[in-house]
Amino acid sequence: MSSFEIGIAGVVGLIALVFLGVRVVYAAAFVGMVGLIAMLGWDAGAGMAGTIPHSKVTTYTLSVLPMFILIGYLAFHAGLTERLFDAARKWLGWVPGGLAVATVIAATGFAAVSGASTATAAVFSRVAIPDMLKYGYDRKLAAGVVAAGGTLASLIPPSALLVIYAIIVEQSVGALLVAGFLPGIVSAIAYSIMIVILAALKPNLGRPIKGFTWRERWRSVPGTLPIIAVVIIIFSAMYYGWATPTEAGALGAFVVFVIALAHGMRWKGLREALLESAKLTVMIFSIIWGVLLFVRFLGFAGLPDAFAKWVVTLPLPPLAIMIGILLFYTVLGMFMDAIGMLLLTLPVVYPAVIALGYDPIWFGIVVVKMCEICLITPPIGLNCFVVNGVRPDIPLSDVFRGIMPFFVADVVTLALFLAFPDIILWLPRTMHMS
Amino acid sequence: MLREDGSTLGVFDVRLGRVETFFNLVAAACIFVLMFLGMAQVLGRQLFDRPISGYIDFVELSMATFAFLGIAYCQRLGGHVRMEMFLKMTSGRAHWAMEVFGTLIALFVIAVLIWYGFDHFLRAYRLGDSTIDAELPVWPSKLLVPVSFALLWLRLLLQLAAYLRLMINPSAAPVAVPRAMTAEEIAAQEIEGTN
């Protein structure tokens, strides 16, 4: 067998193992290891495999991941969601569907201290749905807006998915994080516009909430200051480069830690947050070294290059290929967790996308947005299950129906990203580093 | 050795579980320390122009703690990513056979990585390898890989025994295996994490 054929056999083997339910880290490491051994012999191949976990994982760039994850877990103990939602409803309640719009805006704010979409959907199910139902909002809308609002967490920093993308494709973590802000806000605006249109057409969906005085409005602002502080720390550190992502993450985590203490978090809560952070961290690191072992083997086989060359010769315009890739992710996302999906596909898909002339940062944001859409689409749109889990009184079918307008808004947003790449690229381009 | 009700497995499960939780706690503590360290570094540099010397070297070496120590803990809880579409379509003996297969793959990979990971450590130890900047010794960090993987290997071995028991007798109650969860249950777990 030529090394190229070994490479193809490896890809097929990996797909088979993953379909058989072998955990991605073992499947990827197994294929990578066996492939390296097949090409280099037992000692050189296995020897190389043995160095990869340690050498690939102990790189400074990756140390931002536990910090971002910790911010996310601590944020739940800091009581920030209630305050954010309270402020958002006082300021925005007057528009048609006001409480739903307030939910989107509060979720956008919370995304700035959370990188986990499902968890964000869970807390907002508890905070926002009762209020919306109390004011007679349509329960499909109430459930849908919470499930969709949760997905904003992965675009707006701190976002673990964006960091993982940056590491795998060897792009600047800072540039990707900065690039995530605007698309996150654009997504939130698209959701809000969708709500306002729907509620203006059918006032029964959700009535405006009026009667707050300016005094009440202003008094709701200080409660959101910690969030604003974290946003400023992370954004300005990345944008002006006065701290590394890890340092900014550490500062942000500390701010949230102090707020959580002030809000009554004790040893038990801290222990829980730390153990959960450690578990998620090791899960992500494991899959990273597993996949990088596989990538080393692919590189030896010359497969990504060959695939990229082949894609470029396809008699199709790049846009058609890009849409094809996005559809492929939509299908894959129905069966797989976002992290696994990204790590498994990027080593092969990314070089092809770059060969087609797309920007690495742009593609990162688009692909993470795809992962987010997968969180709200059937059959395993996890965010919808989460909403249904917190509110068993809202049947799953209602949640999935409630998601429809937001899915449409997401498709429009993606089309905007395709038509106007500058929505994504403008901010990082004005940065000090790119 | 293995009693019909799986109680021996249960005992091993609990004992191994204690070590795993301890390892994960150490990893968690290291994340917490990294937070303070990062803060001290950025404040020291920006406010007092006194960065911590060797900060990056130290962070890189200490990353082996939270990158590896918790791996067995995560395996026990079934936390490592996988695609469960086909697993969920099967039941009974076929289902447990798939689990046995996946565990065997993992046992092989991790065994090789323990062996050659230990080699990697031994080389660094014998040569007295140190980081370029702060000249910190590299071997303790490299040693964490075979140590963490050895614990993981024991966990996998226990799970292999547990899955084999279920494959032989599919009607037995599952012991010492992570529960296969439905989307509803995964959602429930996510929700609990935010309470």
Residue B98 touches chain A, beta carbons under 8 Å: yes
Q: Model confidence over A16-67: pLDDT tens digits?
A: 999 898 999 999 999 999 999 999 999 999 999 999 999 989 989 899 999 9
pLDDT band at B150 (very low <50, low <70, confident <90, very high): very high
Residue A115 has pLDDT above 80, yes or no: no
Q: What is the largest CA-CA distance in chain A?
A: 76
Give the C-alpha distances (Å, rounded to integers) separating B107 from A208, A216, B121, B148.
59, 61, 21, 14
A76–B193 C-beta distance less than 8 A: yes
B77–A385 C-beta distance less than 8 A: no
The number of residues in chain B equals 195
Threshold 0.80, pTM exceeds = yes
Closest CA to B170 of B80, B104, B90: B90
Closest CA to A353 of A334, A344, A370, A366: A366
Across A313-317, average pLDDT = 90
The DSSP element (H or E) to which A203 belongs, if any, is none
Amino acid at position A54, single letter: H
Of residues B181 and A183, the one with the higher pLDDT is: A183
Distance from CA of A23 to the nearest CA of B (A): 4
A250–B99 C-beta distance less than 8 A: no
Mean pLDDT for all residues in chain A: 90
Quickly count: other Cβ atoms within 10 Å of residue A402's Cβ.
24
Exposed, middle or buried: residue B181 (CB in 10 Å: 0-12, 13-18, 19+)? middle
How many whole angstroms separate alpha carbon A186 and alpha carbon A196? 15
How many whole angstroms separate alpha carbon A381 and alpha carbon A392? 16
Closest CA to A390 of A203, A139, A162: A139
Reading the block at residue A359, the tokens are 């920007």
Residue A432 has pLDDT above 80, yes or no: no
How many whole angstroms separate alpha carbon B163 and alpha carbon B104? 11
Residue B2 has pLDDT above 70, yes or no: no
Distance from CA of B84 to the nearest CA of A (A): 6
Residue B97 has pLDDT above 60, yes or no: yes
pLDDT band at A378 (very low <50, low <70, confident <90, very high): confident
Amino acid at position A93, single letter: G
DSSP code of residue B178:
P
Residue A185 has pLDDT above 80, yes or no: yes
**With a CB-CB cutoff of 8 Å, which residues 376-415 of chain A face chain B?**
380, 382, 385-386, 388-390
CB pairs under 8 A between A and B: 238
Residue A418 touches chain B, beta carbons under 8 Å: no
pLDDT band at B195 (very low <50, low <70, confident <90, very high): low
| Cβ contacts of B18 on chain A, cutoff 8 Å | none
Least confident interval from A318-332, A357-371, B104-118:
A318-332
Backbone angles phi and psi of A157, in degrees to 5 = -60, 155
A242–B86 C-beta distance less than 8 A: no
Q: Model confidence over A227-247: pLDDT tens digits?
A: 888 888 888 888 888 899 999
pLDDT band at A434 (very low <50, low <70, confident <90, very high): very low
Rg (CA), chain B: 21
Residue B69 touches chain A, beta carbons under 8 Å: yes
Residue with tokens 């050498």: A55
Pick A278's closest partner by Cβ from B27, B81, B109: B27
A283–B63 C-beta distance less than 8 A: no
Percent of chain A at pLDDT > 90 equals 53
Residue with tokens 């309640």: A93
Residue A248 touches chain B, beta carbons under 8 Å: yes
B106–A18 C-beta distance less than 8 A: no
Of residues A40 and B133, the one with the higher pLDDT is: A40
| Cβ contacts of B33 on chain A, cutoff 8 Å | none
Q: What is the pLDDT of residue B3?
A: 54
Best mutation target among B68, B82, B121 (most A Cβ atoms within 10 Å) is B82
How many whole angstroms separate alpha carbon A153 and alpha carbon A382? 14
Closest CA to A182 of A429, A406, A377: A429
Give the C-alpha distances (Å, rounded to integers) separating B22 from A216, A258, A275, B33, B152.
48, 26, 10, 17, 13
Reading the block at residue A368, the tokens are 């993470």
Give the C-alpha distances (Å, rounded to integers) separating B128 from A54, A415, B23.
17, 56, 26
For residue B34, the chain A residue with the least C-alpha distance is A250
pLDDT band at B1 (very low <50, low <70, confident <90, very high): very low
B80–A286 C-beta distance less than 8 A: yes
| Residues 6 or more apart in contact with residue A151 via CB below 8 angstroms | A117, A121, A187, A372, A373, A375, A376, A383
Q: Model confidence over B4-51: pLDDT tens digits?
A: 567 788 889 999 999 999 999 999 999 999 999 999 998 888 888 888
